[in-house]
Amino acid sequence: MLLHIIARGKIGRSAEAELTERYLKRIAWKTRVTELPDRGGRVPDPAANAVTIVLDERGKPLSSVAFAKLLEGWRDTGRREARFLIGAADGHEEQLRDKADLLMSFGPATWPHMLARAMLAEQLFRAVSILDNHPYHRDG
The count of other CB atoms within 10 Å of the CB of residue 43 is 15
CB contact at 8 A, 128 and 27? yes
Task: Establish whether 55 is an annotated binding residue.
Answer: yes
DSSP state letter for 88: B
Annotated binding residue 40: no
State the binding site. Answer: 55, 87
State the binding site for S-adenosyl-L-methionine. Answer: 55, 87
